[in-house]
Structures are given as structure tokens and as C-alpha cells.
Amino acid sequence: MTAGTLVAVCRVHALKPDASTVGITAIDKRPVPGAVQVHELGLRADVQADRKHHGGELKALYAYAAEDAAEWARELGRDVPAGLFGENLRTEGVPVSQALVGERWRIGADVIVEATMPRIPCATFGRHMHEPQWAKRFLAKGLPGAYFKVLATGQIAAGDPIEVLSRPSHNVTVADVFRGLDREQAEALLASENDGEVCLGGNVAKAVRRALKRAKAGSGTSKR
């Protein structure tokens, strides 16, 4: 299937102060040379300061496409180097935001990952970027990047090939979830989960519930 390239592997450069309840953030990710071990919770030696909202098996790795970063660079009039968005993986040639929920990739020889959900911008991201109304702009752009869980561990390095191994039949992308699902998309995801293709969690499961609740409310209103 579609092949791409891993442009950079990024992990925390340094913790920095942040005006959050945690008081620090690990969003400052930067490229590292050589091979990096990937385990079930992400990259070796990487950390998440706010583990309530970041990290865990469903958010083990965050990927962002070089093509989407280039679009942001044109809009912002500044470089968007690998790691600036707090991503672990900067890719090229694979449409990350258009990855299907449950899509599986092989990175390098051994690592297999599965797309789980879009990245939702938080206040820490806004403070890190130093751009006015950043969260609102990021939402409007519709290029969230994708979180991945790790199905098979191993080592990865910049320059490794990325192969799309499989794509579920529901046809719902992480960008669709980011923008908000309609009833048809929500039902397609549920059907895919019932068929064993995907396991919904995090903000995807919440988006499905919201979409079905809206559809039910709308149906009730039309009957009155």
C-alpha cells in the first residue's frame, strides 16, 4: 500500500515551565539521531508531563506530516521544524491527518502502529506556539495529525520507510473525527468495532456518542 518516509524521530528536549495545573510541559520535542527504541508507551526516554491528558497506550506516539507542516509554515510565515507541534514522528508521503481510525502502519523493519485518534489542541500547545488564538486556528485548519498505539515494538530511525499495512472499511479519518462526526460516520465506526476491525477509545468514542446523541435529538424534534 501507500509508502512514505519517516523524516524525523522526536522526543523531549527539556521540560519547561507552563501555566497549567501540572506546572511543566514536555511539549518541547526535537529530532534525535540514530535508532530509537519504541515500546508500548512510546519512545524510549520520552516523557509526558501531564499524563492525565497525554500519553498512555492509545497516545503512545503522535505523528505529523511534513506536507501539513509546510502548509502551516506558509500560513505562519515561519519554519515549522520537526517536533515543534510536540510530535514524535515527522513523516513524508503518508497523509497522517487522513489516516483512517484503526489504520495500521509498519515503520522500519519491525514497528507496527495503529492510528487511534486526532490530536485536540490544548492551552499548553497555544502557549508553546506563541501564536494568537492558536487553538482556534488549529481547529479551523483541520490538520490535527494522529495519535498511534504500538502493536509491535522495535527500533526506528529517520529515513525508515513507512508502509500502510491495512485500512478498515468504515472510511472515517482522524480528520473527520476532529471536525465532528455525522450519524452515518458514527454508525460506520460502531459497525467496524462490532466486526472486530477497530477498538474505539479516547476522543473517537466520545465523538461517536456525541454524534449519535445529536442524531437522536434531531429525530425526536422532527417527530413533534
Q: How far is CA 132 from CA 22, 86, 106, 125, in A?
A: 23, 18, 37, 12
Q: Quote the pLDDT of residue 136.
A: 97
Residue 44: closest CA among 28, 24, 61, 66: 61
Q: Whole-angstrom Cα distance, residue 72 to residue 133?
A: 14
Q: Which of 46-50, 114-118, 214-218 has the highest mean pLDDT?
A: 114-118
Tell me the mean pLDDT in the region 185-211.
Answer: 96
Model confidence at 1: pLDDT above 80? no
Cβ atoms of 69 and 90 closer than 8 Å? yes
Tell me the mean pLDDT in the region 130-135.
Answer: 96
Q: How confident is the model at residue 207 (pLDDT cuts 50, 70, 90)?
A: very high
Model confidence at 133: pLDDT above 70? yes
Lowest-pLDDT range of 51-60, 162-171, 198-207 = 51-60
Q: Quote the pLDDT of residue 93.
A: 98
Q: How confident is the model at residue 218 (pLDDT cuts 50, 70, 90)?
A: confident
Model confidence at 195: pLDDT above 80? yes
Cβ atoms of 3 and 106 closer than 8 Å? no
Model confidence at 53: pLDDT above 90? no
Residue ranges of domains in the chain, CATH in brackets: 3-174 (2.40.33.20)
Dig out the grid coordinates for 33 from the structure: 539521531
Q: How confident is the model at residue 224 (pLDDT cuts 50, 70, 90)?
A: very low
Instruction: Provide the residue count of the chain.
Output: 224
Q: Quote the pLDDT of residue 220.
A: 62
Model confidence at 223: pLDDT above 80? no
Q: What's the whole-model pTM score?
A: 0.94
Report the b/e string of 174-202 with b at 16+ CB within 10 A. Answer: bbbbbbebeeebbbbbbebbeeebbebbb
Q: Quote the pLDDT of residue 2.
A: 66
